[in-house]
Structure 1
Amino acid sequence: MHIALIAHDNKKDALVNFVLAYEDIFKGHTLYATGTTGSRIMAATSLLIERVQSGPLGGDQQIGARIAEDKMDLVIFIRDPLTAQPHDPDIAALLRLCDVHNVPVATNLATAEAIIRAMDHGDLNWRYVVHPDASKEEKRTRK
């Protein structure tokens, strides 16, 4: 699976701790993250992460482009709902793309944990439910 990891400034510690707690599950997947978030996760774990720009500099849009190209399977975006963000339109566009392309998005730790635990138990295979025309070859290569 291709998983994006994003967190607002006030939530970065929470996401880093979450990824650290579930590092063994994340190891089996291709990970992407916005700038500082990716750096902090890599510093705290042994995970390799493809970093894009920070959110305000276009990172949200870069993740959104991967969603639009059907190259992202899950977005974990731990948001700070109590703090205004200068790039709110980009955030709204990213969430809209997740809805349009049926990409699960967790915006809080409770939802992220439910999804990660389901993945670990093999209970979730939404990619091939929402994209039933995915080729057998793609199914083998996009784990």
Structure 2
Amino acid sequence: MADRKCLALIAHDQKKNDLAAFAKAHEATLSGWKIVATGTTGGRVLDACPGLDVTRLKSGPLGGDQQIGALIATGDVDCLIFFVDPLTAMPHDVDVKALMRLAIVYDIPMALNRATAEQLIDFRRT
């Protein structure tokens, strides 16, 4: 039996509830994925969808972004959904840019907002 694909979930503070709502709306589809998430984001997703297989890493500013980046670089993440808040300054913006760069370098699908994430989930389901 093939291993399940791995999806990384990240959200800026002002987008965490949106990502949890997205996960709830797509819980059945996401149940087929192994999920890794930064700490607080993973907690919110688990609160909304306790049945999902979510591994919580460190909080983004405390190294969680780099942990997910490392998983991308080793080929252990197949897809990235990162709900970005473009209106709030992020003190760890350089980490966020590095993570997005890795997703591009390793050519994995990446969604930065709900509209794109909806399309990505629909596409990956087929």
TM-score, L = length of structure 1: 0.83
User: Does the Cα contact within 8 Å between 2:8 and 2:80 map onto a contact in 1?
Assistant: yes
Residue 44 (structure 1) shift = 1.1
AA matched with 1:24: A
Listed as ranges, the gaps of 5+ residues in structure 2 are none
* Structure showing greater Rg: 1
1:12 aligns with 2:16: yes
Q: What CA distance in whole angstroms lies between the structure 1 residues aligned with 2:123 and 2:55?
A: 24
1:92 and 2:94 aligned: no
* 1:101 paired residue number: 106
* Percent of residue pairs bearing the same amino acid type: 51
**Equivalent of 1:81, from 86, 89, 102?**
86
Match of 1:50 among 48, 55, 58: 55
| Structure 1 vs Structure 2 CA RMSD | 0.6
Aligned length, in residue pairs: 121
Shift in Å, 1:48: 2.2
Amino acid at match of 1:34: T
TM-score (normalised: structure 2): 0.94
Structure 1: 5+ residue stretches without partners: 123-143
Deviation of 1:75 after TM superposition, in Å, equals: 0.4
Counterpart Cα distance in 2 of 1:84 and 1:39: 23
Deviation at 1:43, TM superposition (A): 1.1
Q: Distance in 2 between matches of 1:43 and 1:78?
A: 18
Alignment map for 1:1-143 (pairs within 5 Å) = 1-45=5-49, 46-120=51-125, 122=126
Structure 1: 4+ residue segments shifted above 3 A: none
